[in-house]
């Protein structure tokens, strides 16, 4: 079975289309997807394509890559396996599925990327990657979690491409190195990174929904070392945490036992903090004797932090609010979107299927959407690119506001 969304287009020539197949036969599924896309776009030139597939199709990734090149003439084609597949308003978390998302992007510059790593990667080299420029651009990255030092990659990218944003996800479905699949222009890899840099006459806006709501007061870190926070606002960090926990009631206190996090303010110079101003990280431990807490990132004295609670309502509200805010701030509506949602979200978090994809459609409109359930999500917060967890990372493609 194949579902199709009406193509999205503008007078500038930006057009997008998507299709989904639930067929278990990989060859038949790819052929149906190609036919569905051609029905929507006719003979228009396809410049960019993403194909995402469930683990059921991973062993035939070579066939997927080969057939897409044969069926469709595409300038840059990327893809990967995921824990589940997202297509338009549907999320298929465990069923066989394959989705194809394509864009006609005239005059947009596309640079396909590949990065591999040896067992000893003292220094990350980026052979074949674009030369740094002052121009703003967007990187869409797909990476294997077992073989990619993604934090190091993002750090190097921050130095090399200071005006670039990155969005994407870590592949899923496999249980160890070599199990996942990555596609780039007909080639298939079982590790590393594939991606594309986009620049030119297109706007790619990112919505990074970390799915938390702030609780308690904000504190300044007054004593810290590496990822250990010893004092918040001059008092032991563990005491501050206990105060916040005791202020919660009912179900929120119960949820805090398993879903309490901490947000680190990205920009210390803000006079007020709102959604998107905090980088949410896990609380990973505590030292009772020292009164300290350990978090899943480095922290520095002088930073502002606030404890955060993740639950279904907070995660849903956060995505709704951020998407609505994006729509209200920009002249041109999105014409297509890529959605990378954590495998810890979905039905397991929300108690219902199709949550994130449905919210995108509700807030943005019935545009072509594709993505997958990831083992980690890439996206910018406060102008810096990070790897996230339990996050919905959305890339919205539209005409530039000035266009």
Q: What is the pLDDT of residue 238?
A: 94
Beta carbons of 79 and 51 less than 8 angstroms apart: yes
Predicted local distance difference test score (pLDDT) of residue 403: 53
CA angle 197, 209, 253 (to 5 degrees): 155
Residue 51 to residue 326: CA distance in whole angstroms: 26
DSSP state, residue 56: G
Q: Looking at residues 281-309, what average pLDDT do you find?
A: 92
Instruction: Tell me what pLDDT residue 119 has.
Output: 63
pLDDT above 90 covers what percent of the chain?
A: 79
Which tens digits make up the pLDDT trace of 217-270? 999 999 999 999 999 999 999 999 999 888 888 777 777 777 889 999 987 666
Residue among 56, 62, 58, 63 at smallest CA distance from 96: 56
* 347 three-state secondary structure: helix
Q: Across residues 55-82, what is the average pLDDT?
A: 95
Q: What is the mean pLDDT of residues 184-208?
A: 96
Output 259 or 56, whichever has higher pLDDT.
56
Q: Are residues 44 and 100 in contact, defined by beta-carbon separation less than 8 angstroms? A: no
pLDDT at 23 exceeding the cut of 50? yes
Q: Which of 117, 128, 114, 83 is nearest to 182 (CA)?
A: 114
CB 206 within 8 A of CB 385: no
Confidence at residue 122, expressed as pLDDT on a 0 to 100 scale: 63
Are the C-beta atoms of 200 and 108 separated by less than 8 Å? yes
| Per-residue DSSP letter, 142 | E
pLDDT recorded at residue 269: 66
pLDDT score of 3 more than 60:
no
**pLDDT for the residue numbered 4:** 47
User: How many whole angstroms separate alpha carbon 386 and alpha carbon 320?
Assistant: 21
Quick one: pLDDT at residue 270? 67
Q: Are 116 and 230 in contact (CB under 8 A)?
A: no
Closest CA to 281 of 149, 173, 151: 151
| CB-based contacts of 241, cutoff 8 Å, min separation 6 | 260, 283, 286, 293, 307
pLDDT of residue 10: 46
pLDDT at 271: 63
Among 161-175, 233-247, 330-344, which is the least confidently predicted range?
233-247
- Say whether pLDDT at 402 is over 90: no
- pLDDT digit string, tens, across residues 125-164: 888 899 988 889 999 999 999 999 999 999 999 999 999 9
Rounded to an integer, what distance in angstroms lies between the CA atom of residue 77 and that of residue 286? 46
pLDDT value for 249: 81
Q: Which H or E element spans position 114?
A: strand 109-115
In this structure, of 24-38, 107-121, 342-356, the range with the lowest mean pLDDT score is 107-121
Q: In what order do the strands lie in the sheet with 85-87?
A: 90-92, 85-87, 369-374, 336-342, 392-398, 203-209
Cα distances (Å, whole numbers) of residue 335 to 123, 202, 204, 231, 379: 39, 11, 10, 47, 20
| pLDDT at position 31 | 96
pLDDT score for 155: 94
185: left (phi over 0), alpha (psi -120 to 50) or beta: left
pLDDT tens digits for range 271-280: 677 777 889 9
């Amino acid at each position: 079975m194949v579902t199709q969304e009406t193509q999205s287009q503008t007078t500038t020539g930006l057009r997008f289309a998507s299709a989904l197949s639930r067929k278990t036969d990989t060859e038949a599924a790819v052929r149906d997807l190609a036919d569905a896309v051609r029905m929507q776009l006719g003979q228009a030139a396809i410049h960019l394509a993403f194909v995402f597939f469930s683990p059921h199709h991973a062993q035939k990734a070579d066939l997927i890559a080969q057939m897409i090149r044969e069926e469709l003439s595409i300038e840059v084609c990327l893809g990967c396996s995921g824990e589940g597949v997202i297509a338009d308003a549907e999320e298929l978390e465990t069923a066989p599925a394959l989705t194809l998302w394509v864009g006609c992007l005239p005059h947009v510059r596309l640079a396909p990327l590949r990065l591999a790593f040896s067992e000893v990667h003292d220094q990350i080299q980026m052979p074949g990657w674009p030369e740094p420029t002052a121009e703003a651009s967007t990187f869409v990255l797909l990476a294997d979690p077992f073989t990619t030092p993604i934090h190091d990659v993002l750090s190097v990218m921050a130095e090399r491409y200071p005006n670039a944003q990155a969005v994407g996800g870590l592949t899923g479905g496999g249980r160890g190195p070599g199990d996942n699949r990555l596609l780039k222009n007909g080639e298939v890899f079982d590790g590393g990174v594939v991606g594309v840099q986009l620049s030119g006459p297109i706007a790619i806006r990112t919505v990074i929904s970390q799915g938390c709501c702030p609780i308690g007061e904000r504190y300044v870190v007054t004593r810290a070392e590496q990822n250990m926070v010893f004092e918040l606002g001059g008092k032991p960090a563990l005491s501050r945490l206990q105060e916040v926990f005791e202020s919660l009631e009912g179900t929120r206190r119960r949820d805090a036992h398993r879903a309490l996090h901490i947000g680190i303010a990205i920009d210390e110079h803000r006079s007020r903090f709102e959604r998107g101003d905090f980088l949410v990280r896990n609380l990973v431990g505590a030292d009772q004797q020292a009164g300290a807490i350990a978090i899943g990132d480095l922290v520095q004295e002088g930073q502002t932090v606030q404890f955060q609670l993740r639950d279904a309502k907070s995660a849903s509200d956060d995505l709704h609010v951020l998407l609505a805010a994006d729509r209200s701030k920009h002249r041109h509506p999105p014409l297509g979107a890529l959605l990378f949602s954590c495998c810890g979200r979905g039905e397991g978090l929300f108690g219902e299927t199709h949550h994130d994809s449905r919210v995108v459609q509700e807030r943005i409109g019935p545009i072509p959407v594709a993505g997958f359930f990831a083992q980690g999500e890439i996206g910018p917060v406060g102008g810096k690119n990070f790897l996230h967890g339990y996050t919905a990372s959305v890339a919205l493609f539209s005409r530039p506001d000035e266009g």
